[in-house]
């Protein structure tokens, strides 16, 4: 069985360094999503930003700016542009596995009309709970789009062959999950926002709104999954997407 895993950068997030657990008054970090081409179908892990961010017509930008946050996205970086370069028809994407429901991870879902959304049940429920969705900034307009939804509880083997397994990593949001992709070259653990970047492994500087105890526990559990050739791919790590990206991808 052969499959391919790609990493794609779908825009940049701009924020005060402290919010990302990084030095510097303002930092810019990549917003990645991942494409897994499996014999039984194409799965995405996360979906990047909504395309309407390109021309800045997305109204949520204003709300972000009041929190000193911004995003930028070029037309070449959209989810659809990346899939086109990989010769993948967005309408044929089978699974959209979401680490969590933040707009920079679920935003491209609108471009995948036939995908089944695979998400932890507790994340989905938080998305529809008034208090939790407000606290964690989960906006229905990015995920409640009428897709088929597969709610999972804890670990979930996506294709039933161990090649891609959802690993619960709660805390960043109530039902955050990561994805372990297994190949002959070793594992890639797509960490998502359970750990923004390499420095957080040591600093344990997590977002203020997150459950600190749960995030520490989740990160410890993810790190314990490492084997000799395991690559941890962090949620927004500029060092993993520069001149030598951690995964092959498509170049905008």
- Identify which of residues 82 and 102 has a Cβ nearer to Zn ion in the complex: 102
- Identify which of residues 20 and 118 has a Cβ nearer to Zn ion in the complex: 20
Q: 214-225 burial, b for 16+ CB within 10 Å, e for fewer?
A: bbeebbeebeee
- Identify which of residues 58 and 193 has a Cβ nearer to Zn ion in the complex: 193
Of 123-131, 192-200, 216-224, 239-247, the segment contacting Zn ion by CB under 5 A is 192-200
CB of 210 to Zn ion, least distance (A): 9
CB of 86 to Zn ion, least distance (A): 25
Distance, in Å, from the CA atom of 128 to the CA atom of 114, rounded to the nearest integer, reads 22
Q: What counts of helices (H) and strands (E) characterise the chain? A: 8, 12
Are residues 178 and 193 in contact, defined by beta-carbon separation less than 8 angstroms? no
DSSP conformation class of 115:
P
* Separation in Å, CA 237 to CA 36, 82, 217, 219: 20, 19, 20, 15
CB of 114 to Zn ion, least distance (A): 25
- Identify which of residues 123 and 193 has a Cβ nearer to Zn ion in the complex: 193
CB of 59 to Zn ion, least distance (A): 19
Distance, in Å, from the CA atom of 193 to the CA atom of 51, rounded to the nearest integer, reads 21
Of 28-36, 63-71, 187-195, 225-233, the segment contacting Zn ion by CB under 5 A is 187-195
- Identify which of residues 20 and 42 has a Cβ nearer to Zn ion in the complex: 20
Neighbours of 179 (CB within 10 A): 26
Q: Does 102 participate in binding Zn ion (rule CB under 5 A)? A: yes
Q: Does 193 participate in binding Zn ion (rule CB under 5 A)? A: yes
- What residues line the site for Zn ion (CB under 5 A)? 102, 193
């Amino acid at each position: 069985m052969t499959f391919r895993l790609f990493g794609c950068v779908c825009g940049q997030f701009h924020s005060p360094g402290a919010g990302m657990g990084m030095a510097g008054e303002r930092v810019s970090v990549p917003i990645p999503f991942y494409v897994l081409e499996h014999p039984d179908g194409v799965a995405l892990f996360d979906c990047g930003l909504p395309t309407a961010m390109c021309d800045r017509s997305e109204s949520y930008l204003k709300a972000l700016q009041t929190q000193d946050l911004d995003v930028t996205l070029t037309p070449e970086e959209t989810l659809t542009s990346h899939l086109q370069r990989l010769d993948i028809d967005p309408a044929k994407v089978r699974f959209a596995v979401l680490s969590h429901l933040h707009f920079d991870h679920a935003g491209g879902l609108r471009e995948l009309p036939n995908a089944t959304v695979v998400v932890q049940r507790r994340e989905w429920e938080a998305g529809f709970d008034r208090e939790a969705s407000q606290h964690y900034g989960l906006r229905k307009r990015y995920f409640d789009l009428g897709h088929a939804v597969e709610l999972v509880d804890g670990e979930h083997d996506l294709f039933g062959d161990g090649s891609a397994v959802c690993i619960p990593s709660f805390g960043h949001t109530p039902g955050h999950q990561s994805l372990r992709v297994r190949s002959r070259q070793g594992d890639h653990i797509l960490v998502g926002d359970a750990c923004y970047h390499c420095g957080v492994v040591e600093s344990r500087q997590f977002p203020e709104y997150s459950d600190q105890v749960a995030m520490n526990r989740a990160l410890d559990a993810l790190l314990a999954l490492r084997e000799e050739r395991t690559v941890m791919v962090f949620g927004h790590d500029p060092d993993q997407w520069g001149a030598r990206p951690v995964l092959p991808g498509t170049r905008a």
